[in-house]
Homo-oligomer: A and B are copies of this chain.
């Protein structure tokens, strides 16, 4: 039995090395690779993914899991192992089960379909014509239904898709949480829209030179505790964080000289992800448990830093002097308060990635409800644009005139990534709940932020969340850290207080 565990760890180690190598191929593709290399790069990535898949589904694993007494009813295996070993077996068994239940032919067809659909999506979005994309979306939905059947579910075919990104969470749980969030959010947005307080955003659209933005980004990353001997910041068209090694976490950002928030808050966001990946504890580093508990938890780290810390008045009380010093001409006459208001203006808008903290989650609820209905067969792809407009009107009070500003705006569905969207809002909710716990457990932390000292934030997150990696499923982690299960009340309270002050109600 000990031997089975060692063998399983050996396979896991090789998977990790291959996965980090595949991540380098992708990172390079997004940052430095010359354009002509694209075709072979796709082949290189496919080959690596194939090698990884072969190891995940290694037939010898069946015997190992049976020796370890792991099965669908008891994925963590024999009770005599330590907590960490049982968590490892649980995650390895989950990965093996998902990998072996889907026949390879279906995996290949999904990959091919998604690859083609992504190309078509780019064209369709450019032409703002959903009808071009529709047959591809239909094919993707059909394949996802097959995949859901292969993986199995008791309640909803959306469950096994969600489980890919938010392991061990059910559709029902997301519905409960989103249901408690929706109406209060709609009402909060209405209050803001009705407010007669007008925010002056001109300060953030002044010209901030790219090289100087980079310098300021690096200062903030340093203050956040990003370790430059274990990571880097580069430029890419779409910002992301990726792990190329236990000690090699790469962030990217993009620069917009005429809109300051893009790069700075993008960088803080990615660094939030990066600190999580840098912080896995020594006992779990370099293996399957040296991973996020879920995408929702991952996103909680980026959102907590970006919004709850980075977009707070106290952060800017601490960092505004440094900002003015770095951009001496641009910020003449601007106060921390007016800067703070400018970066927090709320306004219902059509595009998710440009949305503010309040309306953002309504964009997510819209997508979650539509994709659930698509997978359940309650909504046909042909009726999607109309349903999108109707929901948008209901939730945000506005509706897109063009498909490009509505149903075609996100890449996710073209990649077959159904079940991904809810993790963004789960991230916001976890973030608020974690932040509240941090403030309770470490009352001086906000005073330190106001002094420009972010170290206590990082240590608290590292000690309470990062160190555990994937040892605890997200729900259990949340209970251990905050004393209760996921509760959207913390996020609503945070929003009402912050935006009530800004908009004067």
- The answer to whether A230 touches B21, judged by C-beta atoms less than 8 angstroms apart, is no
Chain B residues whose CB sits within 8 angstroms of the CB of A44 once the complex forms: 17, 20-21, 245
- The answer to whether B245 touches A41, judged by C-beta atoms less than 8 angstroms apart, is yes
Q: From DSSP, what is the main secondary structure of chain A's interface residues?
A: helix
- The answer to whether A40 touches B247, judged by C-beta atoms less than 8 angstroms apart, is yes
| Residue in chain B with minimal CB distance to A48 | B21
Cross-chain contact of A25 among B24, B246, B286 (Cβ < 8 A): B24
| Shortest distance between the CB of A448 and any CB in chain B (Å) | 27
- List A residues at the B interface (Cβ < 8 Å): 14, 17-18, 20-21, 24-25, 28, 32-37, 39-41, 43-44, 47-48, 51, 227-232, 234, 244-248, 286
Cross-chain contact of A245 among B37, B227, B230 (Cβ < 8 A): B37
Interchain CA distance A234-B25 in the complex, whole Å: 17
Cross-chain contact of A24 among B18, B24, B51 (Cβ < 8 A): B24
Q: Could you show 21 A-B contacts with beta carbons less than 8 Å apart?
A: A17-B47, A21-B25, A21-B47, A24-B24, A24-B28, A32-B234, A33-B244, A34-B229, A34-B230, A34-B231, A34-B248, A36-B227, A36-B229, A36-B230, A36-B247, A37-B230, A40-B245, A40-B247, A40-B248, A41-B248, A51-B51
Chain B residues whose CB sits within 8 angstroms of the CB of A229 once the complex forms: 34-36
Chain B residues whose CB sits within 8 angstroms of the CB of A234 once the complex forms: 32
| Residue in chain B with minimal CB distance to A22 | B21
Interchain CA distance A248-B17 in the complex, whole Å: 23
| Shortest distance between the CB of A115 and any CB in chain B (Å) | 17
Given contacts A14-B47, A36-B247, A37-B248, 14 further A-B contacts (CB under 8 A): A17-B47, A20-B40, A32-B32, A34-B228, A34-B231, A34-B247, A35-B229, A36-B248, A37-B230, A39-B247, A40-B245, A40-B246, A40-B247, A40-B286
Chain B residues whose CB sits within 8 angstroms of the CB of A36 once the complex forms: 227, 229-230, 247-248
Interchain CA distance A41-B230 in the complex, whole Å: 12
- The answer to whether B244 touches A37, judged by C-beta atoms less than 8 angstroms apart, is yes
| Residue in chain B with minimal CB distance to A39 | B247
| Shortest distance between the CB of A95 and any CB in chain B (Å) | 19
Chain B residues whose CB sits within 8 angstroms of the CB of A34 once the complex forms: 228-232, 247-248
| Shortest distance between the CB of A340 and any CB in chain B (Å) | 33
- The answer to whether B47 touches A248, judged by C-beta atoms less than 8 angstroms apart, is no
Interchain CA distance A227-B21 in the complex, whole Å: 26
Cross-chain contact of A247 among B20, B37, B286 (Cβ < 8 A): B37
Interchain CA distance A40-B285 in the complex, whole Å: 12
Interchain CA distance A35-B229 in the complex, whole Å: 5
Chain B residues whose CB sits within 8 angstroms of the CB of A286 once the complex forms: 40
Chain B residues whose CB sits within 8 angstroms of the CB of A232 once the complex forms: 32, 34
Interchain CA distance A35-B227 in the complex, whole Å: 11
